[in-house]
Structure 1
Amino acid sequence: MKKSLFLTGLLAVALVACQHNEATDFDANGLDSTALATISVDSYRTYVEQLSADEFMGRKPFTKGDTLTVNYIAEQFKALNLKPGNGNSYFQEVPLVEISSQPVSSTLTFTGKNGTVMAKHLDDFVIGSKRLQEDIQVDDSELVFVGFGIVAPEYDWNDYKGVDVKGKTVVAMVSDPGHYDKTLFKADTMTYYGRWTYKYEEAARQGATGVLLIHETAAASYGWNVVRSGWSGPQLDLVTEDNGASSTAFQGWINHETATKLFQLAGTPSDIMEQAKKTGFKATPLNITTSLALKNTFRKSTSNNVIAKLEGSKRPDEVIIYTAHWDHLGIGEPVNGDSIYNGAIDNATGVAALFEIAKAFQAAKAKPERSIVFLAVTSEEEGLLGSDYYARHPIFPLKKTVANLNMDAFSALGPTRDVSIVGIGQTEIEDYVERSAAKFGRVIKGEGNPSSGGFYRSDHFNFVKVGVPGLFMGSGNELLETDTTVINKRREALSGRYHAPSDEVDENWNFDGIIADVQLFFDIGYTMSMEKTFPNFKAKSEFKRTN
């Protein structure tokens, strides 16, 4: 009897010791060097090169490149011993429609009392339609300049006040008033009202027939070449019940030079766009009309989100979701003889990070207590469609989704001391970033160009809209490299690659900074996986009410 009690006591002590050792394997103030060591430059580069190879044809949904890409991602998830994330499947089907809108005429003519303005397709304007009808015909539609095209009661701003745009074509500027006047809206941090998607949505709510956005490089944060390449081929959208009937008949962009010619033809004050940036501006009919015809072809099909999971050891029903979009622009308009838009930085770098982070979690000394989900989403380039579909049809309950950590387009310039949080001030995830960054000797800062609206331009935003805090983070600006000649040479070599065929891996890439960022992403999620609390939105976030 005494021997039995003695053995029972030893077993109890051993059990407590094992539990103690398991708990102490995780140090919230330290780093798991074993896990971090699995994040390798060699394997990471191999993943990026494979995903951005010509054989993947630019990874455009609805193409052969789509099938090759999603199968490759699923194969890697399986090879990493991750479980399927959607029951027994690594796939979540996303029903989409591909719409090809072609102007019947390559010239768009604007007619006023004193003459005409002729705009050339792709060079001066781009245009399309979300309506699933073969023929779009718009005759003698009156143009109305509506400033920013914003209705924002909380900022006491209404560009549509006192004007009826039903059946008309609205002409609107990109961005929002805060981009130009720091006392308005959220100063130089763009609100959702500044996004082109919002402007199309609001014009439809107002009953407009068409929308033409005025492109300005500084306000849009990208050049006309990005607009041109993005609109030069078929467009994708989620399938809607009304087949797009609630959208305007057409949507498009005009370049700044064309807008200037329109205002001159209309006889408006030369500073009308400056006037529109001030409180009290009133929409202005331009006394100009335009007519157009579009030929639409469309087909419905499905693309796929690819999803895998690593089950948590204690609270497997609570999930942290890492996302990266796998799609890019496919094969498009040739530039310097190259028509494949490989999308190495955007976003083979993010998908490859999913694989590396999965390896780190597998190697961690203490297994994550919450489940870790790895989600490669489709059709980000077409308007965040894959993440939008997931947010509307979540596989894991949103109320049990702790956070979304989104990885999109890592920088190949080299390691930085700082880390940039896009949309800083939105969520408490930033507190985790700050603590993890400090472990690596890094500091957090806001994005370099908050007026670009980056917070609304990647897949975390769809999680945010349904109440799940999301993080979009990347390298900062304080490069550790001190040789300015090296920095300038690399910066010049890597510039101009956004949404261009030149977005490929080459000798100009420095992978060290990317690996540092991927390691930071791992530690943030790892720390979060060992806690019982849920991060919230910060008090001043416009999304706090959704959480």
Structure 2
Amino acid sequence: MIKKFLGLFLVSLTASAQIPQSILTEINTIDSNRIKAHVAYLADDKLLGRKAGAPGYKMAADYIVEQYKKMGLQPAGEKGGYLQEVYLRNSKIKPETASLKLILPSGEQKSLTWGVDFVFTPHPEKTTVDFNAPLVFVGAGFDTPQINFDDYRNVNVKGKIVVVLRKIPENVPANVKLHLGYPATAQTFAAKHGAIGVLVCNYTTSPILFRSSATNYSLNGINASVSKSGERVSSAAALGGKIQVAGGLSVQALQQLMQAEGIALDALWLKLERGEYVSQPLKSKISGHYESTFTNMLSYNVIGKIEGSDSKLKKEYVIHSAHLDHLGTGKPVNGDSIYNGAHDNASGVACALEMARTYANLKEKPKRSLLFLMVTAEEMGLLGSGYFTAFPTVPKRQIVADINTDMPTLLAPLESIASLGAEHSSLLKVVEEAAKAVNLQVEPDPDPSEGRFVRSDQYNFVKVGIPALHIKYGYAKANPALNLAEKVKSWRDANYHKVSDNLNDSFVWSAGRKYVQVNFLISYLIAQNPVRPSWNKGDFFEVTQ
């Protein structure tokens, strides 16, 4: 009975010149029971929510190492092992130490108030910072001429602190908007031109929200991965390095500054709205001081390798990434305090493990090598993947693509996929070929306003120039009565980042099997093709490299 059913299923798959029948036969060994078993372990209460740096996370990492060994994956971490040490840091501001003084063109010195007029982002590297520098206004603060924002043109900001009036362009995709909205992006633009600080004013932020940001920096702080010697490696909130001070000015503080400069802020905002160039040096200077406290912790990326079969191409790598961490424990909700993260992202890790097992069982390996990279601290701000792309355990130039697996959300039969980010590169054609082989539709991102391409670990590969994608459910269904979009929204509202995300009957395990099959075929096609994936010519993410 089982053999008869398997044979019928094999007929439903489509071989091609790029995907031989032997590969389609192999992917039919993919077993949803193994996927479920991995989720059951990783989402068990004994792992206490797999928080990066905590003992429960180390248990999860040890489990991955054990699975890699059983499958026969080669170690690809540090020191001949499977692990890569990742140094994490939480920085908090000491608000009682924070001071900021404006030296206006008239010579008047004006002291500003923490949480009312200004906030500072905790520094990821230094416990004490003093600064004193001239100011330059740089409009929206973008160095992106490819979308007609060139705010650093014709101004000298070297050794100065830039003032930014936050204005995200409306006529660009959500992925680009979110990328431009990260504080570290604005700081990167400033540092590139030699600035030592960035102070941002959001014209639409209320005084209440502004004060709450100050409270957040002192109570919760910011997270970063750091090098062994303490330099900032990855953080969406702070660049560190040349940037001595980063933070915000309130609308009222910027109004006072511009008034002293003889500039009407409202008129300036209207010009910015119209896309006019408004950057200019200011006559005022600024000085200040602040202190930060650090909490350091150690966590791990877990990396295994399937070596390729081609004598030349095996030195290049296709990566399957998935984040292993979740949120740990919190205040009890109906007696449950453990954020098990069954969907987010035990299911993604489980699917990646089943892909690894399938590769390990191939008699003839693909031409390129495969890395299976389970990263830490995604929930803290994509820190584990940022650490890996800064300190890869294989030569960075030899990494040809990343395929990320983050919360597949296995809530219904899988009939359609959305390949987040593939449209930016030649990977889209690869996805279409793989999906066709397993009878899946490919559709555009059904939630384009969410900017999901730059919200998970593939983003760090994109930032260093490596084409990447993230496969999510599409919402197209053979049965229109099943509104998958609404089902996913209802599940997220009730369970995303909540203690209720545990192993229960919400999972459709057959969808996990299909999800593994299509992701496997995507990486197989990349690994077999002697031509590396490439960015689309002129694409925003190609130009930003």
Are positions 1:68 and 2:59 aligned together? yes
Give per-residue Cα distances to partners, 1:211-232, cap 9 Å, x unaligned. 4574999xxxxxx99x969982
Calculate the aligned-residue CA RMSD, in Å: 4.8
* 1:409 matched residue in structure 2: 407
* 2:236 matched residue in structure 1: none
1:310 to 306, 325, 342: 306
Amino acid at match of 1:356: E
Task: Indicate conservation of the 8 Å contact 1:323/1:404, yes or no.
Answer: yes
Take 1:210 and 1:143, find their aligned partners in 2: how far apart are those partners? 10
Task: Indicate conservation of the 8 Å contact 1:137/1:292, yes or no.
Answer: yes
* 1:15 matched residue in structure 2: none
Task: Indicate conservation of the 8 Å contact 2:308/2:370, yes or no.
Answer: yes
SS of alignment partner, residue 495 of structure 1: helix
2:325 to 308, 324, 327: 327
Amino acid at match of 1:46: A
* 1:360 matched residue in structure 2: 358
SS of alignment partner, residue 309 of structure 1: strand
Take 1:110 and 1:334, find their aligned partners in 2: how far apart are those partners? 44
Distance 1:66 1:253, change over 3 A: farther
2:141 to 140, 149, 155: 149
SS of alignment partner, residue 224 of structure 2: strand
Are positions 1:173 and 2:166 aligned together? yes
SS of alignment partner, residue 130 of structure 1: coil
**Is there any run of 5+ residues in structure 2 with no aligned partner, and where?**
1-14, 206-211, 233-239
Amino acid at match of 1:238: V
* 2:293 matched residue in structure 1: 296
Take 2:219 and 2:421, find their aligned partners in 1: how far apart are those partners? 27
Distance 1:490 1:229, change over 3 A: farther
* 1:38 matched residue in structure 2: 29
Task: Indicate conservation of the 8 Å contact 2:88/2:299, yes or no.
Answer: no
Give per-residue Cα distances to partners, 1:161-184, cap 9 Å, x unaligned. 65869665745537x41xx13xxx
SS of alignment partner, residue 513 of structure 2: helix
Give per-residue Cα distances to partners, 1:397-427, cap 9 Å, x unaligned. 4454443222222123424543212224322
Give per-residue Cα distances to partners, 1:348-388, cap 9 Å, x unaligned. 22211221112222344654343322111233344444333
| Larger displacement relative to structure 2 (301-310 or 32-41) | 32-41
Q: Which residues in structure 2 correspond to 1:373-522 (within 5 Å)?
A: 373-450=371-448, 452-484=450-482, 488=486, 491-495=489-493, 497-522=495-520
Distance 1:253 1:453, change over 3 A: farther
SS of alignment partner, residue 431 of structure 1: helix
* 1:351 matched residue in structure 2: 349
* 1:196 matched residue in structure 2: 183
Q: Which residues in structure 2 correspond to 1:149-298 (within 5 Å)?
A: 149-159=141-151, 170=163, 172-173=165-166, 176-177=168-169, 180-181=170-171, 186-190=172-176, 192-204=179-191, 207=195, 209=197, 211-212=199-200, 214=202, 232=220, 235-239=223-227, 243=231, 246-251=241-246, 275-282=271-278, 293-298=290-295
What is the Cα deviation at residue 520 of structure 1? 0.5
Give per-residue Cα distances to partners, 1:444-464, cap 9 Å, x unaligned. 233244455443443334434
What is the Cα deviation at residue 25 of structure 1? 12
Take 1:328 and 1:163, find their aligned partners in 2: how far apart are those partners? 44
Amino acid at match of 2:185: Y
Take 1:382 and 1:28, find their aligned partners in 2: how far apart are those partners? 38
Take 1:431 and 1:472, find their aligned partners in 2: how far apart are those partners? 14
Give per-residue Cα distances to partners, 1:230-275, cap 9 Å, x unaligned. 9826623222868466254454579xxxx67777888966697665
Task: Indicate conservation of the 8 Å contact 1:127/1:251, yes or no.
Answer: yes
Distance 1:109 1:535, change over 3 A: closer
What is the Cα deviation at residue 305 of structure 1? 1.8
Take 2:373 and 2:166, find their aligned partners in 1: how far apart are those partners? 35
Give per-residue Cα distances to partners, 1:464-507, cap 9 Å, x unaligned. 44454322222222245533578645531332654454544443
What is the Cα deviation at residue 525 of structure 1? 1.8
The total of aligned residue pairs comes to: 501
What is the Cα deviation at residue 278 of structure 1? 3.2
Distance 1:513 1:79, change over 3 A: same
TM-score, L = length of structure 2: 0.73
Give per-residue Cα distances to partners, 1:170-207, cap 9 Å, x unaligned. 45537x41xx13xxxx5555164443321132345553
Take 2:49 and 2:386, find their aligned partners in 1: how far apart are those partners? 22
Task: Indicate conservation of the 8 Å contact 1:58/1:343, yes or no.
Answer: yes
Task: Indicate conservation of the 8 Å contact 2:301/2:374, yes or no.
Answer: yes
Take 2:285 and 2:509, find their aligned partners in 1: how far apart are those partners? 53
**Identity over aligned pairs, percent:** 26
Task: Indicate conservation of the 8 Å contact 1:143/1:171, yes or no.
Answer: no
Distance 1:32 1:243, change over 3 A: closer
Task: Indicate conservation of the 8 Å contact 2:146/2:540, yes or no.
Answer: no
Are positions 1:540 and 2:535 aligned together? no
What is the Cα deviation at residue 309 of structure 1? 1.8
Distance 1:407 1:355, change over 3 A: same
